[in-house]
Structure 1
Amino acid sequence: MPHDTELPVIIIGAGPVGLAAAAHLHERGQQPLVLEAGPTVGAAVRQWGHTRLFSPWRYNIDDAARRLLESSTWQAPDPDQLPTGHELVQEYLFPLAEALGEVVRTRTQVLAVSRSGIDKTRSTSRADTPLVVRVRSSDGHIEDLLARSVLDASGTWHQPNPLGQSGLPTPGEDLARAHGLISHPLPDVHGPERDRFAHRHVLVVGAGHSAANTLLDLADVADQAPGTRISWAIRGNEVTKVYGGEAHDELAARGALGTRLRRLVESGVINLHTQFMIQSFDSTPTGLTVFADTVGGPTQLAVDVLVPATGFRPDLNMLSELRLELDPAVEAPRQLGPLIDPEFHSCGSVKPHGERVLAHPEPGFYLVGMKSYGRAPTFLLATGYEQVRSIAAALAGDRAAADDVHLDLPETGVCSANFGQPATLQEAPVALPLSATGCCSSP
C-alpha cells in the first residue's frame, strides 16, 4: 500500500464498526478520517432505533472504543442491560464520536473510490499511488480526498433485497412500493407508523429475526387494535429454526423471542404461509394483492401493507474503479465467501478472520463490517470489531497482531434462520449488524 503515512486512513460509514476502526487506528497512532453520509453518526441504526437488541451491552462495545471512552467522563451502561438501537447511538456512538473529535465528518456522501490519477486498468506504480475518495457535502460541493488506505464500513441497510424469488424485483413490486404498500424493513409499528398497521391486514415476508421482531410487535398492536390481521410468508416448509434455541439459548432475550413467536403461530394470532413463492403483485393506492405459488397450487392474498424482511445486499457501484476480488455467490471478499456462505454456515460456525482474508488485489482497500459479508446474513458485530482490529494492526506494521485473530462468544441456541433457501429469503435477526452474539442484518 502507499507508503505516505501522512495521508489518513479513510473509513466510509460512522456506524459501530466504522467508529471502532477509527478507535483502533487512533490507539495505534494512525490518522483516521471517518466519512458519514447521514446527518449524525449511527444514521442507519437510528432508522431502526426502536428495536431492542437481544444481546446485552457487554457484547456491543468494542475494546479499543471502550478504552478511549474510559479516558473521558463517559459512564459505561449496565453490561447486562439490553439496549435499543436509539440507546446504542445515544449512549455509545455519540460519546465515541465526540471522543474521536474532528476526524468524524457527517453529511459527507462518498461517490466513488479510485486511485489518484489512474483508473482500474493501470498497473504501473499502482501500489504506491494513493487512493482517492470522491465526496459530496450537503451543500453539493464535490472534492477528492487522498488516502493511504480505505475501509468501507458503509453497511447494506440502504439496499434491501427485492422480493422476487430469482433475486429480481417481482412484477408489480416497484409500483407497490411507489403506492406505499411495501414498508421499509423493521418499521416502528408502535410509534409514528402505527396507523399504517393497526386495524389492517399486514403480511410479513421473511424467515429471520427481523421478521420475528416485526411479527411480535404486530401481535402487540393486534391486542390493542381489533381487526388487525397478521400473515407471515416464508419460502421454506417449517419454522423451527426461526424459533431458535428457546429455553436453551444462553441469550435469554433471543430464546424468549422464539418461544413467544411459536405460541402466537400455534394459537392462530399469526397466520403462517409456508412454501410461499411470490410471483407478482397487483396494487392500487389502497390495497395489494399478492399472487403466489404454494404447495397447494396458485393462490392470492389480499393485504393492506407488506413488510419485507428478506435481507440486504451490498451497493458496489462506488467501487467500480477498484480491483476487487469477490466471491461469486455472496459478493464477499473471495477468501471470506466460502467461510460465511449461508447454505453451509450460521453465524456461530463462521471462523474469526482478519486482514489477510479481507485483502483485495487493490492494496490498502478493505470491505469491513456488514458490507464485507455481501449477501450473507451471518454477520456478527463482534466479528466486525475483530476485522478492524486486525486491519489497524496491519496498517501500523504489527503483522503478528494482525494475524492473531480470535473471537470469544457465549454458547447460543441458534444463530440464524437458515432453511437452506436462497439468500433472498434469509434475513439477519434483530439489531442487524449490531448484535454481538447473534447474526444480523443488521445495518
Structure 2
Amino acid sequence: MTLLDLTPRVAESDRLATLPVAIIGAGPIGLAAAANLLERGIEFTVLESGSEVAASVRAWGHTRLFSPWKHLVDPASRRLLEAHGWTLPSPERAPMGAELVEQYLVPLAALDEIASRVRLGVTVVGVTREGMDRTRTRGRATTPFVVRTRTADARIEEFTARAVIDASGTYLSPNSLSSTGLELLGLADIADAVTPALPDVLGGDRSRFAGRHTTVVGAGHSAANTLLALVELARQEPHTSVTWLIRNAQAVRVSSSADDELADRARLGSRVDQAVVDGRIHVLDGFEIIRARRAAGGRVALVGHRHGDVTTHATDVVVNATGFRPDLSMLREMRLDLDEIVEAPRRLAPLIDPNVHSCGTVEPHGFRELAHPEQGFFIVGMKSYGRAPTFLLATGYEQVRSVTAWLAGDMASASQVQLVLPATGVCSTDLDDGSGCCSSC
C-alpha cells in the first residue's frame, strides 16, 4: 500500500464495517470528528485520557482566545447542537477558554448521541493492526486496528476499530527548555520550580508567582499572555518581577500589526511591546539554555550560551512556553510518513511551515494531505501540525470533515476542501521558539 492509493478501503470487509472508528481525544477536534461521523451514520468511540472532556482546554481556560466565536464552532457540531435548541454565542466576541468549554464543548459532549460513545479516564498507549506489527503487509488495509488503553485504575484493555483518528493534541508534550531539544540537564533538580505554559497567574496559581522573580522562556503567544499577566501581578504585588528569556536575537515574535484581522492578537503584541519599552519586562535575548541547577536560597540557575559566552541567569520560577511537539510513542507500530523537520504528515508540512505561513495563510487541506501509508489512520488537529505552531481550530474542523467524508466513501466531498480564514500576522517565525496557536487562536 502506498501513499498514492487513497481509495477508501475501510468498508471492504464485512467485519470492518461492523466496527467503530476510534477517536483519540475529546477536545474540540475530537468532538468535531464525532459530530461529523454521527452525521454520516458511522459508529465511533471517543477515548479521552482526562476525567472530563476538553481537559487540555480547561487547563488554560483563564486565557482568552484570539478568534471570535464565529471561527470556533465546527459546522457539523453546530448543526447537531442547534437541532437541540443551542444558540451560537456572540459571533464577533472572542471567548475565554473556559467559555469555549462550558458554552460549546460540554453541551456538545452531553448530547446523548455523543455522550454514550465517550469514554473518560482512558489513555491510549498503543495502536496497531490485529495480529500484525508494522513489518507485516499482506492484507493490512483490511485488517482491523487494535487500540490498547490504560484506565485510570491502571487496567489495560484492547478493542478493535475500522479506522483511527488521532486528535490527541500536543498540550501534554511541551518542547524542552534546552536549546538542543533534549531533556534539560538538571531538570529533575528544579522540576518543582518549572510550570507549563499558560499558568493562571492572576487566579489559581497566583501564590506561586506573587513577590517572586519569574522567567518566561519562549517567544510565542502563550509566552506573551503569561508575560502580560505577570506584569499586572507585579503592579499589584510588591517584589514581583518578570524576565522574558528567548533564544533569538530579537524579542518580538507576536503580531502587533494593524492588518491582523484577529484584533485581540494584534492588541496582545502591542501590549507586550509597550511593557518591554516601559521596563516592566526585562528581555534576555540570544540565550540558549544548556543546563539548570539549584542556586543559593533555593533559587534556580539557568546556564546557557549568550553572545558566545557561558552565562548564568538566576530566577525563582520558570514558565516553559517553548511550544509543543507531538507524542508519537503510542504510534510505534503505525506506518507513518512524517516530515523529518516539523514531524507533520509529509504532504502537509510545506503548507504549514511557520517560516512561511501564519495561522491565516495555511491552504485548505484534507484527507489527502493527512494520509499515511497506514490506510484508515489519520492524525488531525494540532498534532497533525507536528512542531509547527500555526494551527487554528477552523483548520482542524475542515480536516475532520474531509477525513470523515473519506471514511464514508464520499470522495467528491472529501476532495472538496474549502476554508476561509482571517488574514493574520505571523504566529511564530522561529520553529525552535514558538508557542502553539491552538491555545490562543
What aligned pairs does 1:1-400 form with structure 2 within 5 A after superposition? 1-3=9-11, 4-99=16-111, 100-177=114-191, 180-245=192-257, 247-283=258-294, 286-295=298-307, 297-400=309-412
SS in 2 for 1:127: helix
After superposition, the CA RMSD in angstroms is 1.5
**Worse overlay, 114-123 or 262-271:** 114-123
The percent of aligned pairs where both chains have the same amino acid is 52
Amino acid aligned to 1:281: A
Separation in 1 of the partners of 2:236 and 2:245? 23
Separation in 2 of the partners of 1:252 and 1:339? 24
Deviation at 1:344, TM superposition (A): 3.1
Deviation at 1:102, TM superposition (A): 0.5
TM-score normalised over the length of structure 2: 0.93
8 Å contact kept, 1:11–1:32: yes
Amino acid aligned to 1:279: I
Structure 2: gaps (5+ residues): 1-8
Deviations 1:169-195 (A, max 9, x none): 232223211xx1111111111112111
Deviation at 1:145, TM superposition (A): 1.2
Separation in 2 of the partners of 1:411 and 1:191? 32
Deviation at 1:370, TM superposition (A): 0.7
Deviations 1:101-155 (A, max 9, x none): 3011111111211111222111111111111111222233322211110000001
Runs of 4+ in structure 1 deviating by more than 6 angstroms, as ranges, are none
SS in 2 for 1:64: helix
Amino acid aligned to 2:83: S
Amino acid aligned to 2:137: S
Amino acid aligned to 1:378: T
Compared CA separation, residues 250 and 345, structure 1 to 2 (3 A): closer
* Number of aligned positions between the proteins: 426
Deviations 1:295-327 (A, max 9, x none): 273322211011111011111111111111111
Deviations 1:420-441 (A, max 9, x none): x4x3311124x52x62xxxxxx
Deviations 1:46-103 (A, max 9, x none): 1111111121111110000000000103232111222111111111111111122301
Deviation at 1:240, TM superposition (A): 4.0
Separation in 1 of the partners of 2:392 and 2:101? 18
Deviation at 1:243, TM superposition (A): 4.1
Deviations 1:203-236 (A, max 9, x none): 0111100000000000110010121111101112
TM-score normalised over the length of structure 1: 0.93
Deviations 1:360-392 (A, max 9, x none): 111100000011111111111111101000001
Separation in 2 of the partners of 1:259 and 1:36? 37
What aligned pairs does 1:399-414 form with structure 2 within 5 A after superposition? 399-412=411-424, 414=425
Compared CA separation, residues 398 and 88, structure 1 to 2 (3 A): same
Deviation at 1:283, TM superposition (A): 1.3
Separation in 2 of the partners of 1:283 and 1:352? 48
Structure 1: gaps (5+ residues): 436-443
